Structure 1
Amino acid sequence: MHLVKEKLMGDRAASEMADLFKTLGDPTRVKIIHALSQCELCVHDLTEVLEMGQSAISHQLRFLRNLRIVKRRKEGKTVFYSLDDEHVQEVFLQTLEHLRHS
């Protein structure tokens, strides 16, 4: 039991992991992450794919950016969004795979 206690994650790591899972607790954010796991998209593309208003999509993207789950790239006047790194995609895809086999 002592070894488990020594290896137990710290409060900060536990809080950050909880924040990530809270983020995945919202169906709209999950759909955005799933769409962005397939390719880079602009807000307009996301509104079309998810059949939602621009304001709602922008609000969720801002939330995801603040948690460093998505990043943006500007090309002219268009802003493209993608997942921030491959770890986010791996966690998401592994969770999806787990659900499909349950």
Structure 2
Amino acid sequence: MKFAWLSLFCGVLIWSGINPKDQFTWLLEVIPAMIGLALIASTYKYFKLTSLLYFFILVHCIVLMIGGHYTYAEVPLFDNLFGSERNNYDKVGHFFQGFV
């Protein structure tokens, strides 16, 4: 399970880094995910979390990486969602930031 989650994290990280909308924005968005991975990896042996929490952390990291690739204002799936004038992906990002 750990290998699959780490593979998914790395795969999405690599994808998000390939031709992002803005390289500096991408870097600012994915640095927290990379710092989180480093902290989890360094403390895993001594401070284990539940599988559910690791899953939510992974999902939050993926949300950050997708937001970094497109920028939060331009994620394609969330354009004009529910008839809104603005892109609502930032709401997803803020939800996971608060929830996790």
Structure with greater Cα Rg: 1
TM-score (normalizing by structure 2)? 0.31
TM-score (normalizing by structure 1)? 0.31
Per residue, is there more strand in 1 or in 2?
A: 1
Per residue, is there more helix in 1 or in 2?
A: 2
